Structure 1
């Protein structure tokens, strides 16, 4: 399904309200914890494809588990099935998932005595996992890897007989996502410590019955920060968000303040407002802790006619697609002057944007959603637009609520 997007020549949104689904990151962590501790209940969970795949895999008893494009599910379920004594599972996914590395996590689990074998290419899914009781408790891991490898180990750690002592070697990246995992464990009264480069999780057989309410997804909110920045005038209220969020992408507030968006928190809601008369200038952001919002930011900058230099993006090479290369190709089609390296992106200021360009999405939900707000400036076409269901199934309907013209080609 290809969608053409456009708006009125003057785009103004006056105090609209949207309900955003629960955070995919929090939901998937809590789904795994609920599988380990069935007496907890969850509220405001994500309705994303990734979370549905995760839930189905945890609830089923299949010998072959296919998680499609869901990278978080691949990492978390690898650890979950590894410590599920007596359970043998082949964990597989889409053709792109079979190109995304899993070796770092497999080798970490091997340090705990877990036997995992590759079914096709070494280092990549599909993998065969032989679940066992774990008595070993020490793992060493490179610190600059995806935080999902680290969180996968931390989430199952309290169910290990002797807990887990995880030593991270080098400079740690994506610290907010590690802290999110530890905060959720703390909410369940699971003891942890994070001192220097050593994280400890202590064993716990049972937890008290408790309802865990998922905060709405900050990554999903990023597209509305972009929309407000690009609008002639806009005020949008999103629920349910808190100022002191566990989610790393809450850094959007300070980043978009530099692009003319004011954020106000009140009554568990967040209001985004365009600042009239704001003086725009090029931005330079280090996104080591928040790489998932790089796509949104660079498209915003193109729409505003300003330049940007974004660093700390090395993990984008192994996402749903090589996001840095995908951004270079698609932004160039729009007329942008952009260059990328293995961990950075540079966009030069430009006053013109090509219109009616087909944006390829590469099976990547964030490519579709990051480019959508640009329709405020020029009509654009999003190819394979249904990919948004991976994290935000209601996205196109929500844009219609905000007076975007969305038509199927």
Structure 2
């Protein structure tokens, strides 16, 4: 829990209304930082997200020579081009899978060996398909501990290019990592993606970042083959849009309460797969109106109750699977989500986590399986509030915490949630924005004894 052993007391509310600001996109920020680092010269990123995982990306890029300055509302980056020279032999990705995976690939082109590592959760995550693919291309990488897991040592020296094979149903970050390194190879790099391809929207975002920097990418219509050509990254100017995964918690709360909610930093033009949260709430009967001129989204819930039978495919928007579970708990009828198998490989087994924790609230939820793995869930909601008054676990995952926070708002009694410090991974002012909508919460001791003067977490 990142040094937060205490619990969060989440006060229930009856209505939700007001104005809040959605954070900028984490994946867009991270990709722009990478592309700017790999260009020689000055690039500018407007409206970047500043959180633990983007700071981790910046620190990794600084470790190979980039100069990155945090300005008011933008980043100024002086990139190193191909001249990757780790000033520290160890690059720590902390909990960021994207940082670990991209630097495991990029350090193939460093002139000296580099160790890439991460925290305990990251060291347990699957890395073998990426390491195998890089080895197929000619990279020299060894695992320091458990085979196929972090940490690794990349011995450098480059790879020539050629063809590699990557499974499409484990992590799109494997593909992103190879694509970012590929322009530095002597020959074109072909990435053959086998089987079902999940999270295509993240691959599209990577392609957009590369093309913005002048890299040529050829893509098969079904994304089964991607060819990245050798070339130089060019300095560029980037503008980061609002993050639809982070917005899903605000949107989800707006969906389960009557009222009008206005979200700033939101635009309807987006490559993010998690834009699907807009389609979901519209199908539930929530009005969603964009003002792209002012980057604003207005949500209006005129419904006394969410009701109906629904099924949603989350294969291209996996990060909102926990949010959908929180919403579905308050829909009277059948609420099914499928296509979420990839989430078992995220920071926690997310479907299993939400089934377990919502079950503690009394939600009628069961997991749906594809073979032996969780692929989704089905909820039979009563369309009414739950008693609450229970303690819920985040499973060490910021997205599980934020989804359970939303679900807790409509309970009759306050719930106690652990793991609240982890919102800094992607949504540092989570509590500030919810406070603007009328939500109150405070920290209590782990023994459930409320402090005499509880500290409101509006600025946490």
For Structure 1 versus Structure 2, the TM-score category normalised by the shorter chain is over 0.9
Task: Report the equivalent of 1:328.
Answer: 355
User: Greater shift after overlay, 163-172 or 215-224?
Assistant: 163-172
User: Greater shift after overlay, 101-110 or 316-325?
Assistant: 316-325
Give the conservation status (yes or no) of the 8 Å contact 1:316–1:322: yes
Task: Report the equivalent of 1:5.
Answer: 10
Task: Report the equivalent of 2:58.
Answer: 55
User: Greater shift after overlay, 301-310 or 21-30?
Assistant: 301-310
Deviation at 1:279, TM superposition (A): 5.8
Give the conservation status (yes or no) of the 8 Å contact 1:20–1:217: yes
Give the conservation status (yes or no) of the 8 Å contact 2:306–2:332: no
Task: Report the equivalent of 1:45.
Answer: 48
What is the aligned counterpart of 1:168 among 166, 170, 193?
193
Does 2:265 match 1:273?
no
* Inter-partner Cα distance in structure 1 for 2:287 and 2:183: 41
Deviation at 1:278, TM superposition (A): 6.8
Does 2:98 match 1:66?
no
Does 2:171 match 1:150?
no
Aligned length: 403
Secondary structure, aligned partner of 1:389? helix
Does 2:33 match 1:31?
yes
Question: Within 5 Å, which residues of 2 pair with 1:68-83?
Answer: 68-82=94-108
What is the aligned counterpart of 2:247 among 221, 237, 249?
221
Give the conservation status (yes or no) of the 8 Å contact 1:260–1:278: no
Does 2:359 match 1:354?
no
Secondary structure, aligned partner of 2:49? coil
What per-residue deviation string (whole Å, max 9, x for no partner) do you get for residues 49-103 of structure 1? Answer: 1111111111022212222211221222211222x23131111111111110100
Task: Report the equivalent of 2:339.
Answer: 312
Secondary structure, aligned partner of 2:184? coil
Secondary structure, aligned partner of 1:53? helix
What per-residue deviation string (whole Å, max 9, x for no partner) do you get for residues 210-230 of structure 1? Answer: 211111211000001111111
Deviation at 1:166, TM superposition (A): 1.4
| Backbone CA RMSD of aligned residues | 1.7
Deviation at 1:272, TM superposition (A): 2.0
Question: Within 5 Å, which residues of 2 pair with 1:131-280?
Answer: 131-195=156-220, 196=222, 197-207=224-234, 209-239=235-265, 241-266=266-291, 267=293, 268-276=295-303, 280=307
Secondary structure, aligned partner of 2:196? coil
279 and 143 in structure 1: CA distance in 2 versus 1, 3 angstrom threshold: closer
Deviation at 1:305, TM superposition (A): 4.0
Secondary structure, aligned partner of 1:249? helix
Secondary structure, aligned partner of 1:158? helix
> Which segments of 5 or more consecutive residues in structure 1 lack a partner in the other structure?
none
What per-residue deviation string (whole Å, max 9, x for no partner) do you get for residues 118-137 of structure 1? Answer: 11111111111112222122
Task: Report the equivalent of 2:131.
Answer: 106
339 and 279 in structure 1: CA distance in 2 versus 1, 3 angstrom threshold: closer
Deviation at 1:163, TM superposition (A): 3.0
Secondary structure, aligned partner of 1:307? strand
Give the conservation status (yes or no) of the 8 Å contact 1:374–1:380: no
Secondary structure, aligned partner of 1:4? strand
12 and 112 in structure 1: CA distance in 2 versus 1, 3 angstrom threshold: closer
TM-score, normalisation: structure 1: 0.94
What per-residue deviation string (whole Å, max 9, x for no partner) do you get for residues 135-171 of structure 1? Answer: 1222222222311111111122222222322111223
Deviation at 1:38, TM superposition (A): 4.1
